[in-house]
């Protein structure tokens, strides 16, 4: 089915009136198109989804659609795309006005990169689980969880869109789950076994859909694909996916187990609530507690610029390259997770299950930097300090640790953060080795209020500055 976007655009402009100017087409799905629209009085862009009612619109179905969409519009959650308005016009178009997201969709990310880092996949999966949990609490089942409906804003937060819309729109436009041509509306790759076989669908169907999306983010393709929709649906109902660790060995076994359970054929064998999924993800991968997904890109170009500068062996070029690195470090994104009390419950629960935090211990700081070390989580509880890395968790009594920062220059400035636990006989536990200036600044302010700085070490600069024309060796600034 292809949409007549020219007609839809004209009808939408008529429906919205003079205060709105319909702009670019942002995308189209099976039965709807999404336009960027300028809302003049508020001076902002919104995204408007227009449903094509087909040739034989049914007024009663249209009324029902508007009612369902208004239920969805009640959902207010940081990981759900907010709906501002729902409307219809002369039985010709139905439209939904919502926040316009300027980041990529997960589908675009996957098209560009094939697969994502384990940390990003975990963070996206956990944010989708939180959105689902909230919507399920209102009795809203999404029914169409797939990468196209998972959007990012420009700072890398995840927002899920189209809750319950697919079914309502299919009904309003007069198509059932299976269209007259025997084609499937919806995306077979993400349909649960019960959707595939036409059985009753509940919240656990979304949990399966999330399992497919997680699998795809890690493996690069969904567990089941095929020549025809029918063959994919058949596999959803009966075939066993290739275990994720056979396709991606760096997936921690605990995360692989979560995905396997999400993809159970029998809904009763899956996690029963999305809240359980969210917790299980953070427990398997502490990095999943983070919020910001790194949209890769600019850093690559800057790194190659540095390469050219240093290779040129010119002091000036090195200086320029150094300045570029400095500004990149300085202006790099905010930390993935920077939470002071109240800290998301999932963080503490995950650490408690790993026995790193006592049940009664409350979390006062959870910090995860942006950048290459974005899978290491530092948690300061009332009684313990925990360093949770993908493979190992270290936990110290809070009253036995001091901390210190270092700066090091290895191809550019980096800040290091270390704990000095009394139990390690003076040996330090280096927690972060690649903090940006921004990460250093944020963490320093936080940690300063919670832990004593080490009186013996203090802040110092380590390593060599190997730039032509400069040679400073092991300069220690404070005693």
Ligand X SMILES: Nc1ncnc2c1ncn2[C@@H]1O[C@H](COP(=O)(O)OP(=O)(O)O)[C@@H](O)[C@H]1O
Q: Which residues bind ligand X (CB under 6 A)?
A: 26-29, 32, 34, 47, 49, 81, 98-101, 105, 148-149, 151, 161-162
Q: Is the peptide bond before 342 cis (omega within 30 degrees of 0)?
A: yes
Of Mg ion, ligand X, none, which one sits near residue 379, judging by CB under 5 to 8 A according to partner kind?
none
| Other CB atoms within 10 Å distance of the CB of residue 383 | 13
Cα 242 to Cα 219: distance, rounded to the nearest angstrom: 10
Q: Please enumerate in sequence order all residues whose Cβ is within 8 A of that of 474, keeping only pairs 6 or more positions apart, or say none.
A: 462, 463, 464
Give me the 118-157 binding string for Mg ion, x by CB under 5 A, dash otherwise. Answer: -------------------------------x--------
Cα 49 to Cα 12: distance, rounded to the nearest angstrom: 9
Of ligand X, Mg ion, none, which one sits near residue 153, judging by CB under 5 to 8 A according to partner kind?
none
Choose between 142 and 248: whose C-beta lies nearer to Mg ion. 142
Min. distance of Cβ 81 from Mg ion in angstroms? 10
Choose between 162 and 338: whose C-beta lies nearer to Mg ion. 162
Min. distance of Cβ 32 from Mg ion in angstroms? 7
Min. distance of Cβ 444 from Mg ion in angstroms? 42
Q: Which stretch binds Mg ion (CB under 5 A): 132-140, 161-169, 203-211, 243-251?
A: 161-169
Closest to 436 (Cα-Cα) out of 417, 451, 453: 417
Choose between 191 and 251: whose C-beta lies nearer to Mg ion. 191
Choose between 49 and 77: whose C-beta lies nearer to ligand X. 49
Among 120, 162, 206, 374, binds Mg ion (CB under 5 A): 162
Identified catalytic residue from 120, 144, 162, 206: 144
Asked if 329 is part of the footprint of Mg ion (rule: CB under 5 A), the reply reads no
| Catalytic residue check, 206 | no
Of ligand X, Mg ion, none, which one sits near residue 28, judging by CB under 5 to 8 A according to partner kind?
ligand X
Identify residues 59-118 at the interface with Mg ion (CB under 5 A).
none
Of Mg ion, ligand X, none, which one sits near residue 98, judging by CB under 5 to 8 A according to partner kind?
ligand X
* C-beta of residue 330 within 8 angstroms of C-beta of residue 340: no
Choose between 92 and 148: whose C-beta lies nearer to ligand X. 148
328 phi, psi to nearest 5 deg: -65, -45
Residue ranges in contact with Mg ion by CB under 5 A: 149, 162
- Residues identified as active-site: 144
């Amino acid at each position: 089915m292809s949409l007549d976007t020219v007609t839809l655009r004209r009808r939408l402009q008529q429906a919205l009136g003079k205060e709105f100017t319909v702009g670019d087409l942002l995308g189209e799905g099976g039965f709807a198109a999404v336009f960027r629209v300028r809302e003049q009085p508020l001076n902002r862009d919104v995204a408007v989804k227009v449903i094509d009612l087909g040739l034989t619109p049914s007024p009663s179905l249209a009324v029902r659609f508007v009612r369902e969409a208004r239920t969805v519009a009640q959902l207010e959650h940081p990981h759900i795309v907010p709906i501002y308005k729902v409307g219809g016009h002369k039985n010709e178009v139905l439209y939904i006005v919502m926040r316009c997201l300027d980041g990529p969709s997960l589908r675009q990310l996957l098209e560009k990169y094939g697969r994502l880092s384990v940390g990003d996949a975990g963070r996206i999966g956990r944010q989708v689980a939180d959105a689902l949990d909230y919507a399920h609490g209102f009795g809203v089942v999404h029914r169409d969880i797939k990468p196209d409906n998972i959007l990012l804003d420009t700072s890398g937060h995840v927002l899920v869109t189209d809750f319950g819309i697919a079914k309502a729109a299919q009904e309003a436009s007069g198509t059932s789950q299976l269209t007259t041509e025997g084609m499937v509306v919806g995306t077979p790759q993400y349909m649960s076994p019960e959707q595939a076989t036409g059985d009753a669908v509940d919240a656990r169907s979304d949990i399966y859909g999330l399992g497919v999306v997680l699998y795809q983010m890690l493996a690069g393709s969904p567990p089941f694909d095929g020549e025809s929709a029918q063959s994919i649906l058949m596999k959803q109902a009966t075939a066993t996916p290739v275990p994720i660790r056979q396709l991606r060995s760096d997936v921690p076994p605990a995360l692989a187990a979560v995905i396997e359970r999400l993809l159970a054929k029998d809904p009763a064998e899956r996690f029963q609530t999305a809240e359980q999924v969210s917790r299980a993800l953070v427990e398997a991968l502490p990095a999943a507690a983070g919020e910001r997904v790194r949209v890769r890109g600019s850093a690559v170009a800057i790194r190659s610029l540095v390469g050219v500068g240093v290779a040129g062996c010119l002091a000036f070029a090195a200086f320029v390259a150094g300045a570029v690195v400095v500004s990149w470090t300085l202006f790099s994104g905010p930390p993935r997770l920077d939470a002071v009390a109240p800290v998301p419950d999932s963080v503490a629960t995950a650490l408690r299950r790993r026995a790193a935090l006592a049940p009664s211990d409350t979390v006062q700081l959870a910090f995860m930097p942006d950048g290459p070390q974005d899978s290491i989580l530092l948690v300061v509880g009332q009684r313990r300090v925990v360093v949770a890395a993908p493979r190992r968790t270290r936990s110290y009594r809070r009253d036995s640790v001091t901390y210190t920062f270092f700066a090091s220059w290895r191809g550019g400035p980096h800040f290091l953060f270390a704990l000095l636990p009394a139990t390690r006989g003076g040996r330090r536990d280096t927690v972060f080795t690649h903090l940006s200036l921004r990460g250093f600044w944020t963490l320093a302010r936080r940690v300063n209020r919670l832990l004593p700085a080490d009186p013996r070490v203090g802040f110092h600069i380590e390593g060599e500055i190997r730039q032509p024309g400069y040679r400073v060796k092991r300069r220690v600034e404070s005693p």
